[in-house]
Amino acid sequence: MGPLSNLLQNNRDWSDRIRSGDPEFFTKLSKQQNPEYLWIGCADSRVPANEIVGLLPGEIFVHRNVANIVVHTDLNCLSVIQFAVEILKVKHIIVVGHYGCGGIRFALQKTRLGLSDNWLRHVHDVEEKHASFLQKRDDLDWQQDRLCELNVIEQVRNVCQTTIVQEAWERRADLSVHGWVYSLRNGLVNDLSLCATSSQHAGLVYEQACEQVHRLP
């Protein structure tokens, strides 16, 4: 048995299943991709974007990194957003965090990881911004869940503030930015009721979403 032969066999089985349901699926897929959604999520292997929302390949454009962070100096992430918005014409950008995120936990516990600490500094910034709220309960699991939510809200704001999204809204593109948190405990998505549709609207929904989390017991 050769290296990775199990994965190669899984690929053949998957391809056979897809073609048995739709013999023309791969022919159509190879000609174009026309997704309506850009998913910005965590690199965690337990969070498969397509499967969570029941979409097939070609129906969702995906960017992933540790702790689903959007940084204005990250040309990788910005290039994905630009390609999705200006080339693919997606209608929805969804920032998706997940409860039980290792990056969030390590940042909260200030665990030293090495190079990754520099990346997770962005999560530390969110934690410091909401420190008085997060410290009101001496419960690490609760703090981690709330920081997951607040981190998503902050990254939604960062997406809205990119020149790409700002310019799309200026030309009245049909584009909205959303914030979700996926639960590994039950497979369900928690919609944070955060949906920005314009530059003016983005600031308001950001404040409302933060206030909603801060009201949680």
Q: How confident is the model at residue 176 (pLDDT cuts 50, 70, 90)?
A: very high
Give Cα 84 distance to the centre of its chain. Answer: 14
CATH says 35-214 is which class? alpha beta
Angle of helix 140-160 versus helix 102-109 axis, rounded to 10: 110
Q: Tell me the average pLDDT of the chain.
A: 95
Residue 103: pLDDT over 80 = yes
44 is catalytic: yes
pLDDT digits (tens, 9 = 90+) for 118-175: 999 999 999 999 999 999 999 999 999 999 999 999 999 999 999 999 999 999 999 9
46 is catalytic: yes
* % pLDDT > 70, the chain: 100
Task: Report the pLDDT value the prediction gives residue 28, as an integer from 0 to 100.
Answer: 85
215 is catalytic: no
Residue 1: pLDDT over 60 = no
Stretch(es) of the chain classified as CATH 3.40.1050.10: 35-214
Which residue among the candidates 12, 16, 22, 44 is catalytic per the annotation? Answer: 44
Which residue among the candidates 42, 77, 148, 160 is catalytic per the annotation? Answer: 42
Which residue among the candidates 63, 98, 105, 146 is catalytic per the annotation? Answer: 98
pLDDT digits (tens, 9 = 90+) for 52-98: 999 988 999 999 999 999 999 999 999 999 999 999 999 999 999 99
Tokens of 104: 């969030």
Which residue among the candidates 19, 46, 72, 124 is catalytic per the annotation? Answer: 46
